[in-house]
Amino acid sequence: MTDLDLVLRARRVVTPGGEVACDVGVRDGMIVALESPGSLDGPLVELGEDEVLLPGLVDTHVHVNEPGRTEWEGFASATRAAAAGGVTTIVDMPLNSIPPTTDVAALEVKRKVADGQAFVDVGFWGGAVPGNLGSLRPLHDGGVFGFKCFLVDSGVEEFPHLPPDELERVMRELASYDALLVVHAEDPRTIRVAPSSRAYADFLDSRPGDAEDDAVELVVELSRRTGCRAHIVHVSNAHALSLIAGTGVTAETCPHYLTLTAEEIGDGATQFKCCPPIRGDANRDGLWHGLRDGLIDLVVSDHSPSTADLKQLATGDFAAAWGGIASLQVGLSAVWTEARSRGFALTDVARWMSAGPAGLVGLRSKGAIEAGRDADLVAFAPEETWTVDARSLHHKNPVTPYDGRTLSGVVRRTWLRGVPVGDRPRGRLLSRGAA
């Protein structure tokens, strides 16, 4: 094959069929050929013997927060962090930006702000909140990849949660044009007000696993009744997986639930606070069993950063601290560190963190190294270790529970449509059905 813009040659290339040694040929930003090593001609990049070529990760759960809370994170910082962590596509959540993406006007504001700042490709979720039923179809037609809702207080007043009756109305509406609803599933009736306390156990007790179970049961029943496609975001309680199995409802979990445990969270360590919470070691094992058994469809970051003062690091008060984990740049390494210790392979990680998220939102050009896909690629050194320094990450605020943690796997280079991600933003804004 001739007239290639780029040939990547590697001893280990993770493809949908498994790991192979091959040349990957790129033309006009797309993968056009996978052939035996040495059989393609063109400008050559040969990966090191310790490097594996992975498909670029797709992270469908990122809170960029711009506009409105850009001091928490923004499109430039978030997408730089994404690329440094091997993520080549993100889908931005409809909150915690102001305005939230609950109508077309807000979507256009967000797209205008993101344009020219993105170092990786960016898509957008719409939001389903009380009173915006009439805005859902225009947002769908405007290209959002689906709709996010909360069944419990979201933490920001401009994005209220849906009570059960409104949830059913939203699901009936979305089912009429086969749109996807992604749900923060915690039942507010089961959650207790957390006391002011530096003890993580006090916060954890306020959000029991039963709150997830009850909410998941509601979503499963309404999905069956309405025909709406539904997806449960950030499953933290392993027992909830048994309620989802065989229902057609899909589920995700996150690196922090797979790698961190309640037992290791010390007094005042509010950088670990998130909702739903990080649970115990036995529960973490249950989530890994869920991945092994195919009950969890994908792993995404739920990158939800804030400024350091909102994490209440000075007081260590879990009740007052913002609930969110900053992990966009470290997710691949964190998951790989734990996965390898449990006998999983990089092919598994690529399925969970690239193919799975791409499939959820219908990004047919993303998620795999095969002909016809975008040449979104990552050179990854799985045996190299590194110690996370929050100050050196591209996240806007140096607050993460991974600070000081030693992880396996280093992202050495990232290509977006066959071009190395560098100092010039080249990311595209994606729309449902067009990518």
pLDDT averaged over 10-residue windows placed end to end, the chain, 435 residues: 92 98 98 97 97 98 98 98 98 98 98 98 98 98 98 97 98 98 98 97 98 98 98 98 97 98 98 98 98 98 98 97 98 98 98 98 98 98 98 98 98 98 97 82
**Would you say residue 1 lies in a domain?**
no
- Is residue 378 included in any domain, yes or no? yes
Structural domain total, the chain? 1
Question: Quick check: is 176 in a domain?
Answer: yes
pLDDT at 1: 66
Helix (H, G, I), strand (E, B) or coil at 321: coil
The answer as to whether 262 is a domain residue is yes
What does the pLDDT read at residue 2?
72
Q: What is the pLDDT of residue 434?
A: 75
- According to the model, what pLDDT value does residue 103 have? 98
Could you tell me the CATH number of the domain that includes residue 254?
3.20.20.140
Residue 333 lies in a domain: yes
Per-residue pLDDT, 267: 97
Q: Which pLDDT belongs to residue 392? A: 98
Question: What tokens appear for 59 in the block?
Answer: 């992270």
**Is residue 112 one of the residues assigned to a domain?**
yes
Domain that holds residue 194: 52-420
Report if residue 102 sits inside a domain.
yes
Residue 36: its pLDDT value, please? 97
Predicted confidence at residue 321, as pLDDT, reads 98
Q: Is residue 201 part of a domain?
A: yes
Provide the residue count of the chain: 435
